[in-house]
C-alpha cells in the first residue's frame, strides 16, 4: 500500500542461528508436518476472533489524520502504518524511515494520541512493512536485533495485534521471510503470559488469490509455529478495469474467495484442519478506496456496500481500507474526481458519505464502545472530565505552556489545559480548550491527548535578540507591553513592576508567554 509508556520488559528469548537453520531445513520435510498434525489434534486449531473493521492510517502523511478523536465506531480501531527499518541502522524501527519511535512521540505526538484513542474506547494496531522502504526483517539480518526491534514496537504501544504488510521485493526475499517467521513466533510465545499477540499477514491478491510468493510467506509463518490470526488480502490495483457491468467489488469477492481456499489448504498442509467458518475468519479484505493506482480502476461507495454485505454473509475476519487519511472528496484546488491517487482524499465524489462507515456497517468491533458523537466533547476532548479545582496543571511537569485566558495562540501552538494537550487550529485568544461548541470544527483547538507520565516541559519559545526590550525590574509595564527575558518573549496582562516574567506569584503572574507564529 502506498505509505505510552513502555510496559515492563518481559523475559527476553534470544533467537539463535541454529534455530534459523533448523527452520530452513525443516520447512520442506514431511516428517515435520506429521508432528504438526499431532500438535493440531492435541491443541485444536486456533479459534478465529470476531470480524472487525480496522482502517489503515498513514502516520507520516501530511496533513496529519486525527485518528485520536474518532468520529464513531468505524474510525475507532485503526491500523497505524508503517514501521520500517531506519535508514542508518536497519535493526532500529522507524516510522516510514522518517521518525524514530522517540521522535514520533516528540514531533507527531504519537504516544499521546494512541493513549487518547484508547481513553475514548478505541484501539490501535501497528503495521510493519508496506510498499516503500525496507520491512524490518529485510533490513535487519541479525536475528537477535530483529526480535528486539519487533518487541520494542509491541511494548511501546502496548499492542495486542500487529500487521505484517509484505509486498514488492520483500515477497521474494527468502532469507528475510525465514528471519521474520522465527522472530514473530518467538515474540508471540513471549506475549502468551500477557494479553497475547494476534498476527495478521497482509499480502497482494488477485482473482486467483495469493501469488506463489505470497503462499510461501504464509507457509513459512505456519512452519515456524506462528498462530496466524489471518491473511489480509490487498484487494486493490487488480488489473481489471472498473465498468458499470463489472464493478471492482465483483473482482474483490473473487479474490477473497480464492484467498479463503488457499488459507484453508495452507493450514491443512501443516496438519491444521479449518472449518469453513474458521477459514473465513482468517480472511481479510483491504481495498484502496476511490481511485486506485491504475487510472481505470475505482472502488466506489456502491462497491463498499457490496463488500460489507459479503463480509457479513461469510464471516470474514477483517475488513480494512487504504486509508482513513483518504476518506473524503477532494477539495479545491483539486477537482473532486481524479485519475491520480492522492494521499488526503479519495479521488471520487463521495457526496458527504464515508467509505469507513459503508465498509464497517454491522461488523462487530473491538471498539464497539465508541459511538458517533461520543468522541471527546464537542471539541474532541475526553468525555466529561469535570472542571474541578482538583485538576491542576503543574508548569514543572507540563510538556507545554499552560493555557492562559489572556494569552494569544497562533495556529500550531501546543498548550496544556486540565491535564490534556491541545493544539491551536488557527489563531485564538480567550477561548478555553474544553469549551463546549455546537460543532467540533468550530473550536480553535484540537485535542492531542493526556499529559503522560514522564512528560517534561518543552523549551520555552524564543525570538531573536532585540525583538523586544529586555525586562527591567525598575520599569513600569502596562497591559500589552512586550519584553524579553533572555530570548524568551512575554507580554504584560496588566500593570506591573518588579515581577519577573516566568516566576509564579500569588494571585497569578502578570506575564504571559508570546507564542511566535509558525
The C-alpha cell at 448 is 492531542
> What is the C-alpha separation between 483 and 360, in angstroms, rounded?
55
Residue 167 a catalytic site member? yes
Q: Write the burial class of residue 31 (CB in 10 Å: 0-12 exposed, 13-18 middle, 19+ buried).
A: exposed
Q: Which of 464, 472, 476 is nearest to 516 (CA)?
A: 464
> What is the C-alpha separation between 149 and 162, in angstroms, rounded?
13
Q: Which of 87, 174, 154 is nearest to 114 (CA)?
A: 154
What are the E-state strand segments in 405-451?
A: 408-409, 414-417, 420-424, 428-429, 445-450
b/e per residue 143-155 (b: at least 16 CB within 10 A): bbbbbbbbbbbbb
Contact of 164 with 197, CB cutoff 8 Å: no
Q: Which of 320, 327, 358 is nearest to 342 (CA)?
A: 327
Tell me which residue has cell 508471540. Answer: 188
For residue 318, what are the β-bridge partners?
52, 284
Residues 6 or more apart whose CB falls under 8 angstroms from that of 11 comprise 190
> What is the C-alpha separation between 36 and 489, in angstroms, rounded?
69
Q: For 470, which DSSP code?
A: B
Q: For 479, which DSSP code?
A: T
Q: For 429, which DSSP code?
A: E
Residues 6 or more apart whose CB falls under 8 angstroms from that of 334 comprise 342, 345
The C-alpha cell at 79 is 491500523
Residues 6 or more apart whose CB falls under 8 angstroms from that of 21 comprise none
Active-site residue, selected from the candidate residues 109, 167, 215, 423:
167
CB atoms within 10 A of CB 396: 7
Say whether the peptide bond before residue 57 is cis (omega within 30 degrees of 0). no
> What is the C-alpha separation between 126 and 285, in angstroms, rounded?
17
Q: Collapsing DSSP states into helix, strand and coil, what is residue 476?
A: strand
Q: Collapsing DSSP states into helix, strand and coil, what is residue 261?
A: helix
The C-alpha cell at 297 is 480502476
Q: For 288, which DSSP code?
A: B
Contact of 356 with 383, CB cutoff 8 Å: no
Q: What is the per-residue DSSP string for 49-65?
A: ---EE-EEEETT-SSPP
Residues annotated as catalytic (active site), given as ranges: 167
Amino acid at each position: 500500500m502506498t505509505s505510552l509508556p513502555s510496559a515492563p520488559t518481559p523475559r527476553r528469548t534470544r533467537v539463535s542461528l541454529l534455530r534459523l537453520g533448523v527452520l530452513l531445513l525443516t520447512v520442506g520435510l514431511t516428517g515435520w508436518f506429521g508432528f504438526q498434525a499431532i500438535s493440531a489434534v492435541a491443541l485444536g486449531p486456533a479459534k478465529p476472533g470476531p470480524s472487525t473493521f480496522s482502517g489503515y492510517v498513514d502516520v507520516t502523511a501530511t496533513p496529519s489524520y486525527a485518528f485520536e478523536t474518532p468520529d464513531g465506531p468505524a474510525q475507532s480501531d485503526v491500523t497505524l502504518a508503517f514501521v520500517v527499518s531506519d535508514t542508518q541502522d536497519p535493526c532500529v524501527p522507524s516510522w516510514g524511515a522518517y521518525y524514530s519511535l522517540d521522535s514520533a512521540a516528540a514531533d507527531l505526538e504519537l504516544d499521546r494520541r494512541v493513549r487518547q484513542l484508547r481513553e475514548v474506547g478505541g484501539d490501535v494496531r501497528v503495521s510493519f512493512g508496506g510498499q516503500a522502504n525496507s520491512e524490518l526483517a529485510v533490513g535487519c539480518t541479525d536475528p537477535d536485533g530483529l526480535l528486539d526491534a519487533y518487541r520494542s514496537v509491541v511494548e511501546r504501544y502496548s499492542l495486542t495485534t500487529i500487521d505484517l504488510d509484505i509486498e514488492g521485493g520483500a515477497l521474494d526475499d527468502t532469507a528475510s521471510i525465514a528471519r521474520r517467521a522465527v522472530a514473530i513466533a518467538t515474540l508471540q510465545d513471549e506475549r502468551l503470559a500477557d494479553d497475547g499477540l494476534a498476527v495478521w499477514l497482509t499480502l497482494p491478491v488477485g482473482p486467483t488469490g495469493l501469488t506463489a510468493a505470497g503462499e510461501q510467506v504464509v507457509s513459512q509463518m505456519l512452519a515456524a509455529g506462528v498462530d496466524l490470526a489471518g491473511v489480509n488480502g490487498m484487494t486493490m490495483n487488480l488489473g481489471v478495469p472498473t465498468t458499470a457491468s463489472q464493478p471492482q467489488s465483483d473482482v474483490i469477492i473473487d479474490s477473497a474467495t480464492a484467498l479463503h481456499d488457499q488459507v484453508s489448504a495452507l493450514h491443512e498442509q501443516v496438519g491444521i484442519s479449518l472449518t469453513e467458518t474458521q477459514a473465513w475468519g482468517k480472511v481479510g479484505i483491504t481495498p484502496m478506496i476511490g481511485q486506485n493506482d491504475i487510472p481505470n480502476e475505482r472502488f466506489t461507495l456502491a462497491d463498499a456496500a457490496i463488500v460489507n454485505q459479503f463480509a457479513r454473509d461469510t464471516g470474514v475476519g477483517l475488513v480494512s481500507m487504504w486509508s482513513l487519511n483518504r476518506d473524503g472528496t477532494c477539495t479545491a484546488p483539486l477537482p473532486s474526481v481524479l485519475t491520480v491517487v492522492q494521499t488526503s482524499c479519495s479521488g471520487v465524489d463521495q457526496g458527504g458519505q464515508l467509505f469507513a462507515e459503508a465498509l464497517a456497517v454491522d461488523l462487530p468491533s473491538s471498539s464497539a464502545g465508541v459511538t458517533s458523537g461520543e468522541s471527546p466533547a464537542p471539541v474532541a476532548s475526553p468525555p466529561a472530565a469535570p472542571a474541578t479545582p482538583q485538576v491542576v496543571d503543574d508548569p514543572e511537569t507540563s510538556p507545554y505552556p499552560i493555557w492562559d485566558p489572556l494569552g494569544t495562540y497562533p495556529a500550531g501552538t501546543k498548550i496544556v489545559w486540565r491535564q490534556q494537550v491541545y493544539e491551536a487550529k488557527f489563531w485564538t485568544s480567550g477561548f478555553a480548550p474544553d469549551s463546549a461548541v455546537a460543532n467540533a470544527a468550530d473550536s480553535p483547538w484540537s485535542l492531542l491527548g493526556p499529559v503522560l507520565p514522564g512528560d517534561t516541559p518543552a523549551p520555552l519559545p524564543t525570538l531573536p535578540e532585540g525583538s523586544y526590550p529586555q525586562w527591567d525590574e525598575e520599569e513600569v509595564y502596562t497591559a500589552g507591553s512586550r519584553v524579553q527575558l533572555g530570548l524568551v518573549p512575554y507580554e504584560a496582562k496588566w500593570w506591573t513592576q518588579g515581577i519577573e516574567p516566568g516566576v509564579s506569584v500569588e494571585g497569578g503572574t502578570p506575564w504571559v508567554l508570546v507564542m511566535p507564529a509558525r
